[in-house]
Structure 1
């Protein structure tokens, strides 16, 4: 009887341990392949030779200009980090949007960055907030205050999931997709997927209510990503990408590690991204339908788009870190134009546009920042949060779910909306079809101020 091949034998032939080992071992032993046949069969699993960084950064379009010293400093940092990103061996092109700002150590894709790669998915380039997206529902002649009041009762901001008794159910289709995917099937991921449905997180995520400048209809817009399920997928993806980085390109920065799409891991990760996309869309939908049910009103229209995702066109993968897809080829379920929110005191823009050489099929995703949240708070340290809030939100119904003001989300924390809009026109980054004029919005607020761990620490000190 022929000796059985083991994983140790395959490793000794120069193949690092991988998911395909089990399938290969079964195939070799079931078919009793000869030594020559084994070598021929295994060649399909051999990884390419390691590659170094590109000597010259791949070309990219800089669709942003400075109007003052603060913006010059911001653009300089964006350019420096983008130059390093574009040295990654898989990269073939990129673009920077007018709302760009740095998002981490040098060499990290900036917010407002688009990076195109060949046959490679870079988890670090879509970041932990996978499929951060916006959804609009047209509530017709509904009163904006009624919509905002109902939304306040329907949504949930801050950490964790919804309280027991207020949780939603996964659809059977989504449940099966989670169970059948190597990155999503564990009990913890499925449990969090249930708990976090109908939640919006914190930071710049919001629920906005306003009126269409064209029709006068009341519109509600939600902004959030994939919450816990997406964050878990991101962590797993980064771990797999790091393993490939060590084998394929050890000089590549860890945040730019990639998973080759033509591997089993690449196929599974791409599939997991699509499932997380469906989960996020459902998450938006449940909040919107909860409002419609409370008010017993009909929905006249609805559309959505993500602005933090990976989009595929053939063997090219477009990593959009805070960039809105204009090109319909990126959205298989396209039902309407795209949404670009600016800040709580400015209209949400409804746009459409064409793909050009400089935009790669993308537009900005919002107003962006010229400085960090921390620096903005430092600049206003001499004034009370309440005074700043009253001044910047006059005439608007602005609410913080935690009941604590977060001044890093007030309008002055962002770039002037007029600047972003003007540069959209200058660089042909989308045409505005309509504007949703603000009535009010809900955000998480500074939930950490009274977080349970802070209260425990305070009690301990006393």
Structure 2
């Protein structure tokens, strides 16, 4: 039977608003309405759009209905942007597209903004640019955090000679394939077990309660896009007291993914509330905020932190399953969020620091900055530079949109690049080909006053969402 295919363009044409609810509706339709015609599925989704209250108890459609449900009426007031924005430093300006810089200038004019920074991997996004850092006084901006709340890097370093990755390539590839699952709607047949699912917020918070079952089914899975799980060679050139690994060569297991449908639903719900409470000019509407003195702001803060714990749990489940299969315990694990908000101090002032696609880089804080499927990633140690609000890039950053990459990069070019780099690709789309990304080493040079490099990671066996090159999806 032909797969049901509904596009975001079709949903927007019938009235769906721009935002996470579009991809959520597409994934639910693919899963539950695969035996319906496209017209029938669109009719069902249109019914949910027209009368979301009627579907709030529907086992399949409740997540969509929750995001479409009109929020309780609040007192609206006009909010103007400041004429002069707060200062922000730009790192690697020569690598950053104009759209991202323009978004950062807009964010800097918010009346709640305190300080900002733009990382060298920055590119255009919703609200804050990806690679944007913004500190506020006592306010949280849901789209300043992002849709994939708590998107995270996690590296397990094993005392295994990395030569084994080539000698036993099929063995290591099998362990990734058998212990991971990718895709925006991916769920496990048997739910994983983790203490995060017993967090009291799931039972005390109405929105989170409605998302608990789906979150449990997705626990331990990875998303689509640039999310990955890969084996590679870890090289530690010099002993570092903070990293705590003797110099040498190791085998590393590196993963990148976030909070799955849980984070997307939280982001959509609270962004809608924030927009209804703060009516901002058109260019800033996605930067609407919630005060942490308000009930909605307190609820978002709880939900955001839960999503961060959930994202961490997803990584730990994957790493623990693979480590068990290898019969090894990692000698070190390094991990960090990069779509999150933190309560921090800036110039002795309490602030909320949003890092949307930016790595925490406080003094001696460890993190991972990946390159691409063929380029080195780096284990880094923060320098605590206040000029970047204690932040660094979260990767190389895109230099080519997904659409442009799909239109201009061929499968043969990708295969040649993989062969040249000695990388076995188990699955990915052309939109994630290395040509779509900036030069990671140039990006690292642009932020050498923000982080120290204490180790490198060279990808060898890579799994992302999609089919392996030369096979049908």
- Superposition TM-score tier, normalisation by shorter sequence: 0.7 to 0.9
Q: Secondary structure at the match of 2:97?
A: helix
Instruction: Using the TM superposition, give the Cα deviation of residue 323 of structure 1 relative to its aligned residue in structure 2, in angstroms.
Output: 0.4
Aligned residue runs from structure 1 range 15-26, under 5 A: none
Native 8 Å contact 1:174 1:275 kept in 2: no
Q: Distance in 1 between matches of 2:333 and 2:198?
A: 21
Aligned residue runs from structure 1 range 309-348, under 5 A: 309-313=340-344, 315-327=350-362, 337-348=366-377
Instruction: Using the TM superposition, give the Cα deviation of residue 294 of structure 1 relative to its aligned residue in structure 2, in angstroms.
Output: 1.8
Q: Does 2:244 align with 1:219?
A: no
Structure 1 unaligned blocks of 5 or more: 1-45, 329-333, 452-462
Q: Which residue is equivalent to 1:356?
A: 385
Q: Distance in 2 between matches of 1:251 and 1:110?
A: 16
Q: Distance in 2 between matches of 1:173 and 1:391?
A: 44
Q: Which residue is equivalent to 1:406?
A: 429
Instruction: Using the TM superposition, give the Cα deviation of residue 78 of structure 1 relative to its aligned residue in structure 2, in angstroms.
Output: 2.2
Q: Which residue is equivalent to 2:195?
A: 171
Q: Does 2:284 align with 1:253?
A: yes
**Could you give the per-residue CA deviations for residues 221-247 of structure 1, whole angstroms, max 9, x where no partner exists?**
10001001111111111122122214x
Q: Which residue is equivalent to 1:149?
A: 174
**Could you give the per-residue CA deviations for residues 84-127 of structure 1, whole angstroms, max 9, x where no partner exists?**
122222111110011111124xxx31111101111111001112
Q: Secondary structure at the match of 2:83?
A: coil
Native 8 Å contact 1:124 1:256 kept in 2: yes
Q: Which residue is equivalent to 1:241?
A: 274
Of 137-146 and 405-414, more deviation after overlay is shown by: 137-146
Aligned residue runs from structure 1 range 101-140, under 5 A: 101-104=123-126, 108-140=127-159
Q: Distance in 2 between matches of 1:446 and 1:261?
A: 44
Q: Which residue is equivalent to 1:28?
A: none
**Could you give the per-residue CA deviations for residues 418-450 of structure 1, whole angstroms, max 9, x where no partner exists?**
21121122xx12010011122221111369x97
Q: Distance in 2 between matches of 1:90 and 1:137?
A: 39
Q: Distance in 1 between matches of 2:382 and 2:326?
A: 35
2:297 aligned to 256, 260, 266, which one? 266
Instruction: Using the TM superposition, give the Cα deviation of residue 173 of structure 1 relative to its aligned residue in structure 2, in angstroms.
Output: 6.2
Normalization by structure 2: what TM-score?
0.74
Native 8 Å contact 1:61 1:94 kept in 2: yes
Native 8 Å contact 1:183 1:268 kept in 2: no
2:438 aligned to 403, 411, 415, which one? 415
Instruction: Using the TM superposition, give the Cα deviation of residue 377 of structure 1 relative to its aligned residue in structure 2, in angstroms.
Output: 2.8
Native 8 Å contact 2:133 2:354 kept in 1: yes
Q: Distance in 2 between matches of 1:52 and 1:183?
A: 31
Instruction: Using the TM superposition, give the Cα deviation of residue 307 of structure 1 relative to its aligned residue in structure 2, in angstroms.
Output: 0.9
Count of residues paired in the alignment: 376
1:365 aligned to 385, 394, 400, which one? 394
Q: Secondary structure at the match of 2:93?
A: coil
Closer/same/farther in 2, CA of residues 48 and 358 from structure 1, 3 Å limit: farther
Q: Distance in 1 between matches of 2:76 and 2:261?
A: 34
Q: Distance in 2 between matches of 1:415 and 1:287?
A: 28
1:63 aligned to 91, 97, 100, which one? 91
Q: Which residue is equivalent to 2:117?
A: 95
1:230 aligned to 249, 252, 263, which one? 263
Q: Secondary structure at the match of 1:184?
A: helix
Q: Which residue is equivalent to 2:16?
A: none
Q: Secondary structure at the match of 1:433?
A: strand
Native 8 Å contact 1:63 1:358 kept in 2: no
Instruction: Using the TM superposition, give the Cα deviation of residue 175 of structure 1 relative to its aligned residue in structure 2, in angstroms.
Output: 4.0
Q: Which residue is equivalent to 2:48?
A: none
Q: Secondary structure at the match of 2:388?
A: coil
Q: Which residue is equivalent to 2:97?
A: 75
Structure 2 unaligned blocks of 5 or more: 1-73, 237-247
**Could you give the per-residue CA deviations for residues 65-95 of structure 1, whole angstroms, max 9, x where no partner exists?**
32xxxx4xx4322222211122222111110
Larger radius of gyration: 1
Normalization by structure 1: what TM-score?
0.76
Instruction: Using the TM superposition, give the Cα deviation of residue 325 of structure 1 relative to its aligned residue in structure 2, in angstroms.
Output: 0.1
Q: Does 2:317 align with 1:286?
A: yes
Native 8 Å contact 2:180 2:222 kept in 1: yes
Of 226-235 and 355-364, more deviation after overlay is shown by: 355-364
Native 8 Å contact 2:106 2:283 kept in 1: no
Q: Does 2:185 align with 1:160?
A: yes
Native 8 Å contact 2:227 2:256 kept in 1: yes
Q: Secondary structure at the match of 2:84?
A: coil
2:422 aligned to 384, 396, 410, which one? 396
Q: Distance in 1 between matches of 2:377 and 2:407?
A: 28
